[in-house]
Amino acid sequence: MEQVRRLLQSRYGDRIPLAYVHTYGCQQNVSDGEKIKGMLALMGYGFCESPREANLILLNTCAIRENAEDRVLGTIGAMKHQRVNDPELVLGLCGCMVQQPHIEQKIRESYPYVDLLFGPHVIKNLPQMLYSVLTSHKRAFDTTETNEGIPEDLPIRRDQAFKAWLPIMSGCNNFCTYCIVPYVRGREKSRPSQKIIEEFTALVNEGYKEITLLGQNVNSYGKGLDEDIDFARLLRKLNAIPGDFRIRFMSSHPKDATFALIDAIADCEKVCKHFHLPVQSGSDRILALMNRHYTKADYMKLINYAKEKIPDISFTSDIIVGFPGETETDFEETLSLLKEVEFDSLFSFIYSKRVGTKAAEMEDPTTPEEKSERFSRLLALEKEIGAKRYENFVGKTYRILVDGPGKTGPSYYSGRNDGYMIVDYDGKEEDIGTFVTVKITKSLNWALLGERVEDQ
């Protein structure tokens, strides 16, 4: 890093070179982006919001669905002109999408103006790669699969001052048949709990108010470590750290979610009473084809236990519509599950075929039109359920962590309650990054509207 810093100083003098880093995809990628920016800052880069002003452009890509990839290819296509006209500009790609061999090959062959390309396993090699590009003007590509897990001790430049992402594990061993993640992120690896506790405690001491533990499947945390720990016990340890903060976590795989985890959520006052439990489908036939290892009944057992233990718990989920071979009956099973659980919100996606996955080989007779029609029906039902649920919150009082300006009006601010619902209220700029107590006066369907009351 020091060598790059000196090189940049001799090249740019007193002017600070600027980096434009844009992250697509999930929070794991956002967290990687924060480490990449941490390294770039130590190498002497400042940051800019527009690629036009940048001396280094880095797109941290995602491979989860086709549209995520199309957007990146479109963006780099549009940057060709700028790159060709500015020989000093470094154009780089990193993240999950470029870890796929067919994409790496495509970039090598069809995008010769991309200088730098590295996969999620080797982000710590960025300084060496950048040094090589800056000194030799040759392209540097590295998609080695190390399976080393989360790199420790990299500098982190966090995007926010009061909410932090904390990865507790990397990779995934589940191989859901539609999903590219296990191929691009490699095998599951947990961080030693001591490292997590140290990072967590430092964040609390720095004043962070909400810390979200990240992993593709946090419920299998601890497997393969030399210590006697699991996710429920990790939550209890973090909850015991003194301070006024909240703990969130994502994602949970229903096959590994346990009653012990639900008990921990119930017992730990700092753990938000919100459970994001991606179900994907309500049809047992489709769940088996997806290789999810649970049935609708297994899923409902978890939901019902959680509702019994934590009456005000909020559930959210991920749904895939139009998995290969999904019939109208299968889809109706999903709708019926949604009615039974009453999720507060959903992240729903139309199935997207991913090269190299098992589902890509399956027969898929359903037309795109039918899939979009199902998707619209799902959204309509989600809205109806959400609106009904939200009505029940009028009159209740919540503690919210204020994120920033709200959408309701000029003096409105917005935050989320424990259950991850958006709450707008008439507030002040100083509230941002603090907890305030709000009494709900109205449901807006997509959010709740309230009035600030004295803290209780």
Residues that bind ligand F3S (CB under 6 A): 25-26, 28-29, 62-64, 95-96, 180-181, 184-185
Task: Show the site string, 52-71: x = touches ligand SAH by CB under 6 A, - = not.
Answer: ------------xx------
- The answer to whether 268 is a known ligand-binding residue is no
What count of other Cβ atoms lies within 10 Å of the Cβ of residue 31? 22
371 scored as a contact of ligand SAH (CB under 6 A) = no
Task: State the minimum distance, in angstroms, from the CB of residue 174 to ligand SAH.
Answer: 7
Other CB atoms within a 10 A radius of the CB of residue 227 amount to 10
Q: Which of residues 270-289 bind ligand SAH (CB under 6 A)?
A: 278, 280
| Binding partner of 175, given ligand SF4, ligand F3S, ligand SAH, none, CB within 5-8 angstroms per partner class | ligand SF4
Peptide bond just before 336 cis, omega within 30 deg: no
> Judging by beta carbons within 10 Å of its beta carbon (0-12, 13-18, 19+), is residue 267 exposed, middle or buried?
middle
Half-sphere exposure of 135 (CA within 13 A, CB side): 11
| Contact assessment for residue 154 and residue 35, using Cβ atoms and an 8 Å cutoff | yes
User: Nearer Cβ to ligand F3S, position 55 or 219?
Assistant: 219
Of ligand F3S, ligand SF4, ligand SAH, none, which one does residue 65 interact with (CB within 5 to 8 Å by kind)?
ligand SAH
Instruction: Give the integer Cα–Cα distance in Å for 351 and 322.
Output: 5
Minimal distance in Å, beta carbon 376 to ligand SAH?
A: 16
User: How far is it, in rounded angstroms, from Cα 438 to Cα 430?
Assistant: 16
Confirm or reject binding of residue 185 to ligand SAH (CB under 6 A): no
Describe the chain by its helix, strand, coil percentages, rounded to 5: 40, 20, 40
User: Which partner from the list ligand SAH, ligand F3S, ligand SF4, none does 385 bind, CB cut-off 5 to 8 Å by kind?
Assistant: none
Exactly one of 162, 178, 245, 393 binds ligand SAH (CB under 6 A); which one? 178
User: Residue 235, interface with ligand SF4 (CB under 6 A)?
Assistant: no
Q: Tell me the closest approach of the beta carbon of residue 416 to ligand SAH, in angstroms.
A: 20
Quick check: 61 and 72 in contact, CB under 8 A?
yes
Instruction: For the chain, report the end-to-end CA distance as a whole number of angstroms.
Output: 49
Q: How far is CA 19 from CA 90, 123, 139, in A?
A: 9, 16, 18
Residue in 39, 93, 181, 232 binding ligand SF4, rule: CB under 6 A:
181
Cα separation, 223 vs 188, in Å, equals 9
Report the nearest approach of ligand SF4 to the CB of residue 334 (Å).
16
Vertex 297 angle, CA 291 and 303, to 5°: 105
Q: Should residue 316 be labelled a site residue for ligand SAH when binding is judged by CB under 6 A?
A: no
Residue linked to tokens 């941290």: 60
Q: How many residues bind ligand SAH (CB under 6 A)?
A: 17
Residue 191 is classified by DSSP as: P
Residue 164's CB: how many other CB atoms inside 10 A?
Answer: 23
| Residue 136 Cβ vs ligand SAH, minimum distance, rounded to whole Å | 37
Picked from ligand SAH, ligand SF4, ligand F3S, none, the partner binding residue 349 (CB below 5 to 8 A depending on kind) is: ligand SAH
- Rounded CA separation 34/158 (Å): 5
Minimum CB separation of residue 24 from ligand SAH in Å reads: 13
Look at phi and psi of residue 37 and say left if phi exceeds 0, alpha if psi is from -120 to 50, else beta: alpha
Residue 172, marked binder = yes
Residue 354 binding ligand SAH, by CB under 6 A = yes
Binding letters toward ligand SF4, positions 251-280, x by CB under 6 A: --x---------------------------
Q: Among ligand SAH, ligand F3S, ligand SF4, none, what binds residue 62 when CB lies within 5 to 8 Å by partner kind?
A: ligand F3S
Dmax over Cα atoms in the chain, in whole Å?
67
By CB under 6 A, residue 405 contacts ligand SF4: no
Choose from ligand F3S, ligand SAH, ligand SF4, none: what does 351 bind? Cβ within 5-8 Å by kind: ligand SAH
b/e map of 329-344 (b: 16 or more CB within 10 Å)? ebbebbbebbeebebb
Question: Alpha helices, DSSP H only, in 43-112?
Answer: 66-85, 101-110
- Which residues lie near ligand SAH (CB under 6 A)? 64-65, 178-179, 181, 216-217, 251, 253, 278, 280, 318, 320, 349, 351-352, 354
The annotation places the binding site at 26, 62, 96, 172, 176, 179
The annotation places the binding site for [4Fe-4S] cluster at 26, 62, 96, 172, 176, 179
